[in-house]
Amino acid sequence: MALSEPTIDDVTVAVSDIHVRYNVPSGEAAARLPRGERLIRRATGRPPSVTVRAVAGVSLVAYAGESIGIVGLNGSGKSTLLRIIAGLEKPMRGEVHARSTPVLLGVNAALLPELSGAQNVHLGCLAMGLTPEEAQEQFDGIVELADIGPSIHLPMKTYSSGMAARLRFAIALAVRPDILLIDEALATGDASFKERSMERMKEMRQGAGTVFLVSHAAQTVEEECTRAIWLHRGRLVTDGPADEVARAYRWYAWNLAKGEKEKAAGLLEDAFVTGVETEVAFIPALGDAAPARHAAGPRPRGGGVPLGLRSDDRAPIESFDDIFKGL
Ligand SMILES: Nc1ncnc2c1ncn2[C@@H]1O[C@H](COP(=O)(O)OP(=O)(O)OP(=O)(O)O)[C@@H](O)[C@H]1O
C-alpha cells in the first residue's frame, strides 16, 4: 500500500462486477434426462451440462505499490479472476480496466520445450515485447535469478516443473511489468528462490507496480502481501489488510480441515457479513465542463456508504485515460 492515502492517479487495475460462468458437460445431468432427449442431445453434439459460477460479481480496485494476495478454497475462482484481469478470458458481465498490460506469469512467456532454457530466455523476452538488444541486456540477470545452473543450456522439456517455473518467473520479472499476476508459481521454488523472488516483487512494488498473487499458502500471503482478497464460490468474502484477511481465512480453513463444519460456516458467514467490498463504476468522461464521476471505494457490507458516486449508466470505456479525463 502506498504510504499516503492512494488517489485516482494511483489506480493500476479496476475490476467492476465481474461474472464468469462455464457450462460443463455433466454425467449427472445426463442421468436425469429422459432417454430420448439424452440420445438427441448426444446426436446433436449438445451434451447435458451444468452451469458453474466461477466468479460471481467481484469488484476491486488495485493501487500502485500494492501486492494483493488472493486466497480461497479449491474452485473458489482465484485463477479465473487472474485470467480475467490478464485479459485471457472475457467475462460474461462486468469490466476490467488496467493502466498497462498485465503480465500473467508463465502464460505470456510462451516457451518452447524443444529449445534450451537460454534460447527460451531470448524467445520469452521477445514474446513479451523487448527488443533483441533489450533481451540481450536482460539475459544474465534472468539466468542469475532463475539459478538453474548448467541446465540453462538443456532443452526445456528436460526441466522439472519447478525449474521451468523459475525460468518463467525470471523472464516475467525481467520485462519489469507494471502489473504482474502470479498463480501459485512460488510454491514450486525452493526457499532461496522464493526469497529472491519476493525481493524482486518488493522492488516492483517500490517501483509503483502492482502484484497479484494467488496462493493456497495463506501464510505466504500474510507475509508477502500488503492486501488480500478472500474468494468463496466465486464471491468476494472480504478485501482488506493481508494479515487480517489471511488470518481469518486460515482459521476458517483450519476448522474446515478438522471437520468443524459448523464452526467454519459461522466464520465464513461472519467474514462475509462484516467484510469489505469495493463498489466500482466506470462513467464516460463528458469533457472538461462536466464533473468527473468515478466511484471506487471500499465499503462495509450492510449499510456503508460508498466513497464517490455510483451511476447506472455504465458504458465501456477505452482506457483509464477516459476515466481520468476531466479530473
Ligand atoms: N475452463 C473451464 N471450464 C469449465 N469450468 C471451469 C473452467 N475453469 C474453471 N472452471 C470452474 O470454475 C470454478 C473456479 O475455478 P478456478 O480454477 O478459478 O478456481 P481456483 O480457486 O483457482 O481453484 P484452485 O485453488 O483449485 O486452483 C471451478 O468450479 C472450476 O471447476
Average pLDDT score over the chain: 78
Query: What residues does 16 pair with on adjacent strands?
Result: 95
Q: What is the pLDDT of residue 284?
A: 61
Q: Whose CA is nearest to atom 29 of ligand 1?
A: 75
Per-residue pLDDT at 318 exceeds 70: no
Q: What is the pLDDT of residue 125?
A: 87
Alpha-carbon distance of 198 to 219, in angstroms, equals: 14
Pocket of ligand 1 (CB under 6 A): 22, 24, 52, 54, 72, 74-80
- Domain assignments of the chain as residue spans, ordered by start: 8-102+177-324, 108-176
Per-residue pLDDT band for 3 (boundaries 50, 70, 90) equals low
Tens digits of residue pLDDT in 270-304: 998 887 777 777 766 554 443 333 344 454 454 33
CA of 24 to the centre of ligand 1 (A): 11
Summarize the confidence of residues 122-146 as an average pLDDT.
88
Check residue 18 and report its DSSP letter: E
Q: What is the pLDDT of residue 279?
A: 74
User: Does ipTM exceed 0.90?
Assistant: yes
8 A C-beta contact, residue 228 and residue 245 = yes
Domain 8-102+177-324 is found in CATH 3.40.50.300: yes
Atom of ligand 1 nearest to the CA of 214: 22
Mutate to test the pocket of ligand 1, among 21, 78, 249 (most ligand atoms within 8 A of CB): 78
Q: Whose CA is nearest to atom 20 of ligand 1?
A: 75
Residue 201, H or E segment: helix 191-206
Per-residue pLDDT band for 28 (boundaries 50, 70, 90) equals low
Predicted TM-score (pTM) of the model is 0.75
Per-residue pLDDT band for 320 (boundaries 50, 70, 90) equals very low
Residue 110, Cβ density class (10 Å: 0-12 exposed, 13-18 middle, ≥19 buried): exposed
Tens digits of residue pLDDT in 186-201: 555 666 667 777 777 7
Tens digits of residue pLDDT in 149-186: 999 999 999 998 888 888 888 887 787 788 888 876 55
Q: Whose CA is nearest to atom 18 of ligand 1?
A: 77
CA of 214 to the centre of ligand 1 (A): 13
CB-based burial, 32-62: b 16+ in 10 Å, e otherwise: eeeeeebeebeeeeeebeeebebbbebbbbb
CA of 146 to the centre of ligand 1 (A): 29
Q: What is the pLDDT of residue 115?
A: 92
Per-residue pLDDT at 317 exceeds 60: no
